[in-house]
Structure 1
Amino acid sequence: MAKSGKPKSGWRAPLWARLCAIFGCVLMVLSGGALVTSQVLVSRYADAVQTKDLFGNAASGATKQQVSDIKGPLNILLVGIDPRNDTTAPLSDSIIVVHVPKGLKQAYLYSIPRDLRVEIPPFEKTNFRGGTAKINAAMSYGSSIGGGKHDVAQGFDLLAKTVSKLTGIKKFDAGAIINFNGFQKIVNAMGGVTMTIDQNVKSEHLQPNGKPRPRKAECPTSGNCEHPYTGPQKQYKKGTYHLEGWEALDYVRQRYGLPRSDYDRQRHQQQFIKAMASQALSKDVVTNPIKLDKVLKAAGDTLIFDGNGHSVVDWGLALKNLRAEDMTLVKLPGRSLITNGRYQGEALDASAEEFFASVQSDTISSFLIEHPDFLQKL
């Protein structure tokens, strides 16, 4: 893959917030010889992670609970957003739910399509009356704090309520927000990530050298062109490659030109999360205090976390036995909604309701045996 050039800002984000737990786990699997170093890193990492109340219940400021209180089954909501200032309404560009069964020995990841049309419930804090819209708008409807300002944590609260209404999950046990700038820092701190690319992909946004593709003359920055770029494209061929941060970010955000569009992109995001987790927990990282420190610092700087009274390190301790091979990727079947030739968003197939029921009853493994088509392609 090309190694020159770096992308500039203005990108939308894939979701990498699964790392809020992964990097907590990394701390606890350092070799005995690095134990003292790990204690120092635990403190630095915990201090670096920004904690906020993401669920509207002031849980992050609640009395400290014991790590032993973290028991399965667990549901964690992870959201990736554009890096925006507080005068711009945030959009959740990527939404992933992690379900950890009772024994805390497995994790199931499934993506909620960003264009899924759902019922967004009323939200008193912003006087939002509720209505049907694409789910990625929920954060926007919930984020206004007056004076033209927006709070992404408050927006997360409405998104969580929306996902709860969709899935039937009554309460999320933890949540995290991560931005694309942080994702790229994490990958670079690890020295890049090796993954298998399962289909040929052309970049809508970057040239082969990593620089942004020029915009078409008829598509100014403020325009609404569907494909506003021109010129040569960065390409990702089928096979196994070592990706730098900018390549990984570019690859997992692509959907145009793919047979299944956003569903292919969701699969690529999940595949990369698994590859990233595997490398983060490899000896190359966990037994190298200098590299580990860089990785944890990058992760800490990018996260907004709410562990419902537990710190991110507490969660890492609780999930310390999880590894990449314990992560099962799930795909939700869906379809595009077209009205009078115009795209309105996405809808899930009726079978998704059965899957959500298995999440609530903590019987996903049995459901997947009976419905193998829900297993994501690796």
Structure 2
Amino acid sequence: MAGSEGRRAPLWARLSVAVGALLLIPAGGTVAAAEVVPAGGVIPGADVPAGAHAAPREDTREPLNFLLVGIDPRGAHTKPLADTIVVAHVPSNREDVFLFSLPRDLVVRIPAFKPSGTAAVRTKINAAMALGSRQPNGRYNPRQGLYLLARAVGNVTGIRWFDAAAIVNFGGFEKVVDTMGGVKVRVDQEVKSEHLRPDGRPRNRTAECRLRHACLRPYTGPQKVYPRSAAPVRFRGWEALDYVRQRYGLPRSDYDRQRHQRQFLKAMAKRVIDRDVAAIVRSAGDSLTFVDGGNTLATWLTVARRLDVRGMTSIDLPGTALFEGGVYRGERFLPGANAFLKAVAEDRVASFLVDHPKAVKIDQ
């Protein structure tokens, strides 16, 4: 990898750093870990041995794929769920970056996983992280769970290898956004906060939910509102975190939330390349960790200054509720989404979008 100022970094590295910038936001958090993981083949155990990472692909005609996973940090004794799953796909011609999300409630078959001792099961895809994270001592290791989730995502998408992946959590996100001076995003529909009051303080819990933690919607009282706006709105840190978490009250629920996350993802990536990347990293503190095949963080920062991620295309994959025997089981993709994923696996996304303009929707 290029380490000097006078030499341009390899293309794979520049694209990987672009994704690194994106990792700051998918679930409303900062980078917790990045790991090179295969979607299929041999998965290492709980402790990834030295040299287990894939070799960097500097000169390749194959597409690049990155897996971005958002979790709500709950401690080593609580199973982590993949609340946000985003794939960044870079075609072999290296002319585009396509972002798309998998619903966290997408019903899939999760493979058996030897490191955690879990059997194959058909359930919501966000459970793959929890199942794969299990350890014999009763604790959970999200880094281990990432491997099983990568397999599950690979089975759905047809992607056989992820060049890099990352787990993202909520910690430190507000500081990162504020270090950037805020981030501007166009609000495409009115969004009401389920969690916060207009001044950012937590909303009160209803009387019946004050002593219960299993209430579906336990809050009451005034809500922070993000009005629809044709012009980009500057979000402060706490507002940004709150905004990308909302799904209640939105016409398409989690699908609308996924779109807002991708929109913020793009806006934040553009903002990152215009700011002092080192300062952003410092603001994230210990919650920002790259594991990227042996490259140093200093090298990544040098490369980050040469990025241009303004050409990203965000794709909204159509899905709907899955009912079996009259019972809601989760979500399923519609035919347009499956056709798009086939195009991803076959490295023909751009031509697919031209030939099938109504199969999926391009985010504005």
Q: TM-score range by the shorter chain?
A: 0.7 to 0.9
Structure 2: give runs of 5+ residues left out of the alignment.
1-14, 23-30
User: Equivalents in 2 of 1:161, 1:302: separation in Å?
Assistant: 25
Corresponding position of 2:85: 95
User: Equivalents in 2 of 1:132, 1:172: separation in Å?
Assistant: 23
- 2:145 is aligned with 1:160: no
**Cα drift, residue 253 of structure 1:** 0.8
The SS at the match of 2:99 is strand
User: Equivalents in 2 of 1:295, 1:318: separation in Å?
Assistant: 15
Q: Which amino acid aligns with 1:154?
A: Q
User: Equivalents in 2 of 1:64, 1:352: separation in Å?
Assistant: 29
After TM superposition, the score normalised by the length of structure 2 is 0.82
- Of the candidates 229, 239, 249, which is equivalent to residue 257 of structure 1? 249
User: Equivalents in 1 of 2:156, 2:197: separation in Å?
Assistant: 39
Mapped contact 1:24–1:317 kept (Cα < 8 A): no
- Of the candidates 115, 124, 127, which is equivalent to residue 125 of structure 1? 115
User: Equivalents in 1 of 2:278, 2:50: separation in Å?
Assistant: 25
- The Cα offsets for residues 144-178 of structure 1, whole Å up to 9 and x where unpaired, read as 11221111111111100100111111111111111
Q: Which amino acid aligns with 1:364?
A: V
**Cα drift, residue 362 of structure 1:** 1.1
Corresponding position of 2:162: 172
Q: Percent identity?
A: 45
Structure 1: give runs of 5+ residues left out of the alignment.
1-18, 27-47, 286-290
User: Equivalents in 2 of 1:211, 1:292: separation in Å?
Assistant: 30
User: Equivalents in 1 of 2:18, 2:133: separation in Å?
Assistant: 28
Task: List aligned pairs for 1:241-280, cutoff 5 A.
Answer: 241-280=233-272
**Cα drift, residue 124 of structure 1:** 1.1
Corresponding position of 1:21: 17
User: Equivalents in 2 of 1:52, 1:261: separation in Å?
Assistant: 30
- 2:330 is aligned with 1:345: yes
Corresponding position of 1:327: 312
- 2:361 is aligned with 1:375: yes
User: Equivalents in 1 of 2:107, 2:53: separation in Å?
Assistant: 38
Mapped contact 1:91–1:137 kept (Cα < 8 A): yes
User: Equivalents in 1 of 2:282, 2:118: separation in Å?
Assistant: 37
User: Equivalents in 2 of 1:168, 1:376: separation in Å?
Assistant: 21
Mapped contact 1:53–1:60 kept (Cα < 8 A): no
- Of the candidates 191, 195, 212, which is equivalent to residue 201 of structure 1? 191
| Cα distance change, pair 320–347 in 1 and its aligned pair in 2 (3 A) | farther
Corresponding position of 2:321: 336
| Cα distance change, pair 67–312 in 1 and its aligned pair in 2 (3 A) | farther
Q: Which amino acid aligns with 2:127?
A: A
Mapped contact 2:277–2:304 kept (Cα < 8 A): no
**Cα drift, residue 71 of structure 1:** 6.2
- 2:278 is aligned with 1:293: yes
Mapped contact 1:205–1:212 kept (Cα < 8 A): yes
Corresponding position of 1:227: 217
- Of the candidates 191, 196, 207, which is equivalent to residue 181 of structure 2? 191
Q: Which amino acid aligns with 2:256?
A: D
**Cα drift, residue 292 of structure 1:** 3.3
Mapped contact 1:72–1:104 kept (Cα < 8 A): no
User: Equivalents in 1 of 2:155, 2:253: separation in Å?
Assistant: 25
Corresponding position of 1:76: 66
**Cα drift, residue 187 of structure 1:** 0.9
Mapped contact 1:333–1:352 kept (Cα < 8 A): yes
The SS at the match of 2:66 is strand
| Cα distance change, pair 63–377 in 1 and its aligned pair in 2 (3 A) | closer
Q: Which amino acid aligns with 1:265?
A: R
Between 1 and 2, higher relative CO (CA 8 Å, sep ≥ 6) is seen in: 1
- 2:342 is aligned with 1:357: yes
Q: What's the Cα RMSD here?
A: 2.9
**Cα drift, residue 252 of structure 1:** 0.9
Mapped contact 2:74–2:80 kept (Cα < 8 A): yes
Q: Which amino acid aligns with 1:115?
A: D
After TM superposition, the score normalised by the length of structure 1 is 0.79
User: Equivalents in 1 of 2:80, 2:57: separation in Å?
Assistant: 32
User: Equivalents in 2 of 1:264, 1:193: separation in Å?
Assistant: 19
User: Equivalents in 1 of 2:158, 2:169: separation in Å?
Assistant: 27
The answer to which of 309-318 and 72-81 deviates more is 309-318
**Cα drift, residue 324 of structure 1:** 3.6
- Of the candidates 171, 182, 200, which is equivalent to residue 181 of structure 1? 171
Q: Comparing both structures, which one devotes a greater share of its residues to helix?
A: 1
